[in-house]
Structure 1
Amino acid sequence: MSYRIALAVLLLAVTTACGSPSAGQGADLRGKVYVSSSVTEQGKPRAMVEGTRVELRFTDDGRLMANAGCNQMQGPVQVDDGRLAVGELGMTAMGCPKPELHQQDEWLSKLLGATPSWKLDGANLVITGSNSEIVLAPEQPATLEGIWTVNSLVTQDAVSSVPEGVKVTITFKGGNMLVDTGCNLNGAETPYVLDGQTIKAKLGASTLRSCGPVDEVENAVRATFENGEATHEIDRATLSLTNASGAGLKLGK
């Protein structure tokens, strides 16, 4: 083999190995969840509805689950040749509280349904359509420490949403739990002990004035810790607190 031929073969091998950064990376997406860090449309930042983000979850069985703040979308996905091909993308029909959320759902559905390109830029996933680009970072596992907002009230028979306009938070910080309902439970520090999945805490006495819709949530918080402890479970960005009878709360970060 001549020197020139050997050099050409060597260059071809190097180009093949280094020139296709997304080759073989499809398997790396399985089992991962990505959340948007930036969204652009026609080269300009696209404003997301306050409190929302794009979430893409690639399941181990080859499905894509997507959310833009309201309805859940999902469908089988292929990631060959740097393209995200979602077949039969279905979407729930939940009534969103704001029309802007419906519009955001439709925008994301249209983007994912148009076989956008994808690539990994370091740890980030970049999805690019004809007019839009989403940069998504790997979701970091949530920890108990921090501020959690109560989203749902759980009984033995049902799960109900928090009344509209009511915001209740529970903060875990440095061995103290702070419940803030804006009414009777107003952020006083309560020491807690974490024993495996059990949170041991006694809320103590508080005022008992009526605060309208807040009362329902305050009663649910008290019931959750009525025996001085509750079981906790964290699934992605959702915290479940449950008492011995099965009642409790679901909270989000």
Structure 2
Amino acid sequence: MIAVAGAGLLLTLAGCGDESSAGGGSLKGRSYLSTAATADGKPMELVANTRIRMQFTDDGRLIADAGCNSMGGKVSTDGGKMSVQDLAITDMGCDAPRHAQDDWLAKLLQDEPAWKLEADKLSVSNGGTELVLQDRETAEPDKPLDGTKWSLETVIAGETASHSVGSERSYLTISGERVTGSTGCNDLQGIVARTGNKLTFGELSVTLKACTGDAAALEKAVLAALKGEVSYSIEANRLKLRTPDGNGIDLTSN
């Protein structure tokens, strides 16, 4: 089990300057996914199955990830420079290549890079280092809730996010008013209703295979996230389910 303290990125917020149009437009409220990267003036190949993501919130924060940890802080984009104040980074254990990619992105953000926005293309650069990104809605449209196989990625409990080895065996598929899937140990099925951004799960039928250790803990967390009314949101290939107390699960699709 890998746990991340402060999954919500407990950020130390400081004041920031007003965003100007020197970079070519406003970044607030938009998300971007990487399309190319350059290091020391040479093309840089990202770790397999990763993309760098940058999200600029309406309240002036930047949240970014490079395939492992999340990082972020209050951001100023005044004068065509991107200045992230008090960059905070989660501490989830990942393999060495993804940690190195995290470090590369963190250094770029801490070096107050220049930025430029042209239509849906964002470039962030400092010297021979450049990251090119595309507006997320263009680069990776939202997957439909119905008919998509959503595989479990992370369990959220308070300020902690955890990922269990083998959690990828847990999945959900919603088709109309039916939900089927697996807790990673047992199969499940049942009824689900939706209203706006809310899903309401009925009593689920679950097979009776005995689960122990991490598998039992994972099953308990999954079933707790699929009980009664939960909120849901989809961004690209990510589905977030949250119970009224803020706990829940994050899932992805290929």
Normalised to the residue count of structure 2, the TM-score between the two structures is 0.69
Q: Give the conservation status (yes or no) of the 8 Å contact 2:153–2:167.
A: no
Per the TM alignment, residue 33 of structure 1 is displaced from its structure 2 partner at its CA by: 1.8
Q: Which residue in 2 is equivalent to 1:178?
A: 180
| Amino acid in the other structure paired with 1:53 | R
Structure 1 segment 78-117 matched on structure 2, within 5 A: 78-80=77-79, 83-86=80-83, 88-92=85-89, 94-117=91-114
Q: Which residue in 2 is equivalent to 1:192?
A: 192
Task: Return the alpha-carbon distance in structure 2 between the equivalents of residues 158 and 135 of structure 1.
Answer: 32
2:76 pairs with 1:74: no
Matched position secondary structure for 2:172: strand
Offset from partner CA, 1:93-139 (integer Å, 9 cap, x none): 52433233332122112222334332223212122332333222223
2:210 pairs with 1:209: yes
Task: Return the alpha-carbon distance in structure 1 between the equivalents of residues 73 and 132 of structure 2.
Answer: 19
Matched position secondary structure for 2:164: coil
Q: Give the conservation status (yes or no) of the 8 Å contact 1:177–1:190.
A: yes
Task: Return the alpha-carbon distance in structure 1 between the equivalents of residues 205 and 92 of structure 2.
Answer: 39
2:34 pairs with 1:39: no
Q: Which residue in 2 is equivalent to 1:5?
A: none
State percent identity of aligned pairs: 24
Q: Give the conservation status (yes or no) of the 8 Å contact 1:85–1:116.
A: yes
Matched position secondary structure for 1:29: coil
Task: Return the alpha-carbon distance in structure 1 between the equivalents of residues 64 and 89 of structure 2.
Answer: 11
Q: Which residue in 2 is equivalent to 1:120?
A: 117
1:139 to 136, 140, 143: 136
Q: How many pairs align?
A: 222
Task: Return the alpha-carbon distance in structure 2 between the equivalents of residues 215 and 61 of structure 1.
Answer: 39
| Root-mean-square deviation over aligned CA pairs | 3.3
Per the TM alignment, residue 251 of structure 1 is displaced from its structure 2 partner at its CA by: 1.1
Q: Which residue in 2 is equivalent to 1:8?
A: none
Offset from partner CA, 1:62-107 (integer Å, 9 cap, x none): 4433322314132432242xx3331545233524332333321221
Gaps of at least 5 residues in structure 2 are 1-19
Task: Return the alpha-carbon distance in structure 2 between the equivalents of residues 109 and 72 of structure 1.
Answer: 8
Q: Give the conservation status (yes or no) of the 8 Å contact 2:115–2:123.
A: yes
| Amino acid in the other structure paired with 1:98 | D
Task: Return the alpha-carbon distance in structure 1 between the equivalents of residues 57 and 159 of structure 2.
Answer: 27
More strand by share: 2
Task: Return the alpha-carbon distance in structure 2 between the equivalents of residues 66 and 221 of structure 1.
Answer: 26
Q: Give the conservation status (yes or no) of the 8 Å contact 1:84–1:118.
A: yes
Matched position secondary structure for 1:133: strand
Q: Which residue in 1 is equivalent to 2:54?
A: 56
Task: Return the alpha-carbon distance in structure 2 between the equivalents of residues 248 and 116 of structure 1.
Answer: 36
Matched position secondary structure for 1:213: helix
> Do the aligned partners of residues 29 and 154 (structure 1) sit closer, same or farther apart at CA in structure 2, a change above 3 Å counting?
closer
Matched position secondary structure for 2:205: coil
Task: Return the alpha-carbon distance in structure 2 between the equivalents of residues 63 and 220 of structure 1.
Answer: 30
More helix by share: 1
Task: Return the alpha-carbon distance in structure 1 between the equivalents of residues 123 and 226 of structure 2.
Answer: 43
Per the TM alignment, residue 209 of structure 1 is displaced from its structure 2 partner at its CA by: 2.5
| Amino acid in the other structure paired with 1:177 | V
Normalised to the residue count of structure 1, the TM-score between the two structures is 0.69
Q: Give the conservation status (yes or no) of the 8 Å contact 2:151–2:171.
A: yes
Gaps of at least 5 residues in structure 1 are 1-21
> Do the aligned partners of residues 43 and 114 (structure 1) sit closer, same or farther apart at CA in structure 2, a change above 3 Å counting?
same
